[in-house]
Amino acid sequence: QKEVEQDPGPLSVPEGAIVSLNCTYSNSAFQYFMWYRQYSRKGPELLMYTYSSGNKEDGRFTAQVDKSSKYISLFIRDSQPSDSATYLCAMSAISGGYNKLIFGAGTRLAVHP
Amino acid sequence: DTEVTQTPKHLVMGMTNKKSLKCEQHMGHRAMYWYKQKAKKPPELMFVYSYEKLSINESVPSRFSPECPNSSLLNLHLHALQPEDSALYLCASSQDQSKTQYFGPGTRLLVL
C-alpha cells in the first residue's frame, strides 16, 4: 500500500463546475499537507499549505484536512480553463529535522469551455 | 518573492557528455533540493542540501554529482548519463529543512 493514494484521473469538467480532488494517506505521523499545481512541462507551484484539520480558503480554492479519516481534499469553485493542470497532493512529517515530502500520483484536470 | 530559477530550460546531451544544471534562489532559503520527475509521475527526491552541506542523498547513481557553491546556488553535474535519465529535473528551496518547499520551473533533459 502506498503512503499516499491519489486518483490520477483524468478528470474532465465543464467551465464553472466545482471540482473536488482527494487524497488518502496511511501514515498518521504526517503533520503538513500541501497541494501543488503543475502545468504541462512546468515545475510544481504551491497552492495551499496547512498543518491542522479543518478548512483553509484562498480565493476559489479550499483545502480540507480530516486527520481522523486520513483524508485531504482540494475544492476549486467556478473552475476555469486556466485551472487545467495536474494537481499533486503532498504531505510530510518532520523526522531527524527533515521534512520529507511524500507526493500523491497527481490528478490531471481538464476544464473545458 | 518565492522564485526559484533554473537554467537551462532544455538540455540535450549524449551519453559521453558532461553538462551541468544550475539552480538559484534569492529568498534567503538555507535548504535546497534536487528532484527528478518522469512523465506522468510525481517528483522523486534526489539530494538535499542544508546550510550548504549535503544532508540527504537518496541513493542516486554517481553519474549525478550535486554541488552547492553558496547559499543561493545549487548545481547538478551530469556525466555519462543513460537514456533512462531523460526527465524533468526540478530544483526546490525552503527556509530550512523543516519548512515548505518552493519549486523552480525545471530543466527538461534528453539523453541520446
Q: What does the block give as the cell for B102? A: 518552493
Q: What share of chain B is helix, strand, coil (3-state, %, to 5)?
A: 5, 55, 40
Chain A residues whose CB is inside 8 A of the B103 CB are 36, 43-46
pLDDT in single tens digits along all 112 residues of chain B: 569 999 999 999 999 899 999 999 999 999 999 999 999 999 999 999 999 999 989 999 999 999 999 999 999 999 999 999 999 999 999 998 888 899 999 999 999 9
What is the H or E stretch that residue A44 is in?
Answer: none
User: How many contiguous H segments (helices) and E segments (strands) does chain B have?
Assistant: 0, 11
Question: What secondary structure letter does DSSP report for B101?
Answer: -
Question: What dihedral angle (degrees, nearest 10) is formed by the CA atoms of B4, A49, A40, B11?
Answer: 30
| Segment A37-67, tens digit of pLDDT | 999 989 999 999 998 889 999 999 999 999 9
Q: Which residue has the cell 533533459?
A: B109
Q: Which residue of A has its CA nearest to B31?
A: A98
Residue B35: exposure state from Cβ atoms within 10 A (0-12, 13-18, ≥19): buried
pLDDT at A100: 85
Contact residues for B17 (Cβ-Cβ < 8 A; gap 6+):
B78, B79, B81
Determine the length of chain A. Answer: 113
Nearest Cα of chain B lies from the Cα of A93 at a distance, in angstroms, of 9
Chain A residues whose CB is inside 8 A of the B99 CB are 99
Three-state DSSP string of A25-40: ECCCCCCEEEEEEECC
Q: Which residue of B has its CA nearest to A108?
A: B40
pLDDT at B2: 62
Chain B residues whose CB is inside 8 A of the A100 CB are 45
Query: Hey, of A3, A31, A42, which one would you mutate to test binding to chain B, going by the most B CBs within 10 A of its CB?
Result: A42
The phi and psi torsions of A11 (rounded to 5 degrees) equal -115, 125
